Structure 1
Amino acid sequence: MVDITAAVVTAVGGEFSLDKLSLDGPAADEVLVEIAGVGLCHTDLAVKEGHLPFPLPGVLGHEGSGVVVEVGSAVTKVQKGDRVVLSFNSCGTCPQCKKDSPAYCHNFMAFNFSGVRPDGTSALSIAGTTAGSNFFGQSSFGTHALAHERNVVRVTDPTAPLALLGPLGCGIQTGAGAVLNSLDAEAGSSLLVLGGGSVGLSAVLAAVVRELSVIIVVEPLQSRRDLALSLGATHVIDPAAGPLSEQVRAIIPGGVDYAVDTTAIVSVLEQTLLSLAPHASLGILGVPSDPTAALSLNLIQAQVLGVTIYGIVEGDSDPDRFIPELLALHQAGKFPFDKLITTVPFTQINEAVAAQHRGEAVKIVLVHE
């Protein structure tokens, strides 16, 4: 048992409170990690606001990075002292996991949102009362997190900025993976990115890596449009300047080959469909605030254009393979994801939530001082 400090959500819509909790030691397949930094992700906030299921009171956080301090008896992947990134959890035995597609694990919801370990126990308690734990297999909004062997990725580069690496485990790999894995965008093609947050701008970074010729970012905030251009976008669009499809076709009359939506706003998606070229692909990444939100699809238009629509989870990533690839690109100066990150002390988590909501930062990483 380890005494930790963590940010706890006690009620839907409430603020995070910093509390003392007890965290179990690692079971046979688990890894105890001292957290150096943890990203603040839209999914954490969606759960806090009740848009996604999770038992409360509970500890969220799913973009953690840190140092292994203890491993379970059956763990062989990492050892004490290893630097690691934490990602989503998966079962390892279902048909999708066996095909190296863990983002579509048949047990994804149970392993990442149930608030308990796979054996039904919680690893966290507050004054003897059970708390929701195991969020994305980690619950890393704390000084320590208990992860599983399957969802820790060892960082072999000693120069990598450990505290900043957590977002590689979710938001950054989601945006980059959408372009490099899910859509497998071809060099010289065109991409439309809806939303200039960390996921959207990670897609831009990946599009530059893949050498796309036209990269258009749609974003209401001027500061984020400017950042997008500095990262390699060829064009930016202010959605308030006119109908989206008209603005896109003013840039590329035949329409775009690929589109990545991070907004989950139905009206934006409808305009995106009108912006596509024949045989285009649309990837849907955003989490809607309304879980019943639905997109109306014109069947004739979809058939005539030959449009493909992908629902994308975690960028179709196998973290053990993809995170090292992104780190190697970063080391080579080709994937500067650190330009998206603003660090804030972990104790200021509620202030960080407000700042990110106001658009003052693209991706906040909470660091322990």
Structure 2
Amino acid sequence: MTTVTAAVARELGAPLSVQQLELDDLRANEARVRMVAGGICHTDAIVRDGIYPTPLPAVLGHEGAGLVETVGESVTSVRPGDHVVLSAAYCAACNECQAGRMAYCENLFAQDFGGSRTDGTTAFTTADGTRISSHFFGQSSFSTYSNVVESSLVRIDPSVPLEVMAPLGCGMQTGAGSVLNELRPPAGSSIAVSGVGAVGMAAVMAARVAGCTTIVAIDLHDSRLELAKELGATHVVNAAAGTVVDELMSITGGQGVNYALDTTAIPGVLAGLIGALSIRGTLALVGAAAPGTTAEFEIGASLVKGWTFKTIIQGSSVPQQFIPRLVELWKQGRFPFDKLVRTYKLDDINAGFADSASGAVIKPVVVF
């Protein structure tokens, strides 16, 4: 057993509690990682609030970055001393994983939200032996040390600062991958991004990398829209005016946008974007909504447009391949996601959650 300091989600909707826990022995398919930083993501908040069903109490955190200290006997992809970013876990054995579609792992909920290893054990306990859910996204990175499953480990260039790289594990990968891996817009095409938080900003930057010549950022916060222009948006629309569709049609000369990516998961927002699609346009959803949420689509007049709707998980990426590509883009100055980050100490983690919820900060990152 190793004593660690971790932020624990104990009750639904309540602030996290920073306390000491016991970390158990490493399993064969795990690596012991000393955390350097961990991003705070919207998914952490919705699990804390019970929207997704990870058993509480739990150590959350799924955008970890750190140093490998020891590895289990079956681990071959990393070794002690490696710098790693931590991403979503996957089983590597199901049909989707075997086909290279790890983001759509058939066992995704068990791997990432189950709160334990596949054998039912948890890595964390209190001093009196009380179980604390672990292995959130295979990592539970809101802890000074964690036992991380091999599929969550992504080795990166040791010359880049780990404090900066943590958000690549989920939010940045999701936004950028949705554009570069899934939508794949051709150079010269148009795209609208609805909601420019961390995921949306990553999509804006990726659209510029892809060569889109019309990139429209949509949000309620003028400060975010100004930053989006700095990061690659050619146009911005404040959704508070209620004229999003009209403005998108005006920007595109009445043709509509070729691609629309929604990060809000607000049914009315999602459904409204259909009216701004071009013929054969694509509307994609990456935002997480509560199970049971529905959206209504007009299907009569829109039939002749031949439009596509799709949902995207984790940017449809293979983390071990895609995250190092994002690191290289960052090194070249073409994916400057560090401009979104504000850092917090572990003791101030709840302030990071609050600042994210209010929109005051786009990407809070805990630095250990």
Q: TM-score, normalised by structure 2?
A: 0.98
Structure 1: unaligned runs, 5 residues or longer: none
1:271 corresponding residue in structure 2: 272
Matches within 5 A, 1:122-271: 122-127=122-127, 128-155=129-156, 157-252=157-252, 253-271=254-272
Distance 1:137 1:355 in 2: 26
CA deviations over 1:222-270 (Å, ceiling 9, x no partner): 1100000000100000111232211211211210000110000011112
Distance 1:65 1:345 in 2: 15
1:336 corresponding residue in structure 2: 336
1:358 corresponding residue in structure 2: 358
Aligned residue pairs total 366
Partner SS for 1:205: helix
Distance 1:126 1:319 in 2: 32
The farther-off stretch of 146-155 and 42-51 is 146-155
2:94 corresponding residue in structure 1: 94
Residue identity matched to 1:215: I
Residue identity matched to 2:249: R
CA deviations over 1:97-134 (Å, ceiling 9, x no partner): 01111000010000000101112211111121011111
Distance 1:88 1:158 in 2: 21
Matches within 5 A, 1:58-97: 58-97=58-97
Report how far residue 14 of structure 1 moved: 0.6
Residue identity matched to 1:249: M
CA deviations over 1:308-355 (Å, ceiling 9, x no partner): 111100000100110011111111221111111111112100111111
1:320 corresponding residue in structure 2: 320
CA deviations over 1:257-302 (Å, ceiling 9, x no partner): 00110000011112101110011111100012x3221111222344
Residue identity matched to 2:165: L
Residue identity matched to 1:189: S
Distance 2:342 2:184 in 1: 29
Does 1:293 find its partner at 2:302? no
Partner SS for 2:44: helix
Q: Is the 8 A contact 2:18 2:346 kept in 1?
A: no
Distance 2:301 2:172 in 1: 32
Report how far residue 203 of structure 1 moved: 0.1
Q: Is the 8 A contact 1:2 1:23 kept in 2?
A: yes
Residue identity matched to 1:49: D
Residue identity matched to 2:155: R
1:10 corresponding residue in structure 2: 10
Distance 1:270 1:281 in 2: 13
Report how far residue 158 of structure 1 moved: 2.8
1:367 corresponding residue in structure 2: 367
Residue identity matched to 1:108: L
Distance 1:306 1:25 in 2: 55
Report how far residue 303 of structure 1 moved: 2.4
CA deviations over 1:62-112 (Å, ceiling 9, x no partner): 000000011101111111111100000001011110111100001000000
Q: Is the 8 A contact 1:194 1:200 kept in 2?
A: yes
Q: Is the 8 A contact 1:25 1:32 kept in 2?
A: no
Q: Is the 8 A contact 1:279 1:308 kept in 2?
A: yes
1:115 corresponding residue in structure 2: 115
Distance 1:245 1:295 in 2: 17
Partner SS for 2:300: helix
Q: TM-score, normalised by structure 1?
A: 0.97
2:50 corresponding residue in structure 1: 50
The farther-off stretch of 321-330 and 158-167 is 158-167
Q: Is the 8 A contact 1:169 1:323 kept in 2?
A: yes
Q: Is the 8 A contact 2:181 2:315 kept in 1?
A: yes
Partner SS for 2:159: coil
The farther-off stretch of 329-338 and 173-182 is 329-338
Distance 2:15 2:347 in 1: 13
Residue identity matched to 1:197: G
Distance 1:303 1:53 in 2: 37
Residue identity matched to 1:208: R
The farther-off stretch of 314-323 and 236-245 is 236-245
For the aligned residue pairs, the C-alpha RMSD in angstroms reads 1.0
Residue identity matched to 1:148: V
Distance 2:27 2:67 in 1: 18
Q: Is the 8 A contact 1:30 1:71 kept in 2?
A: yes
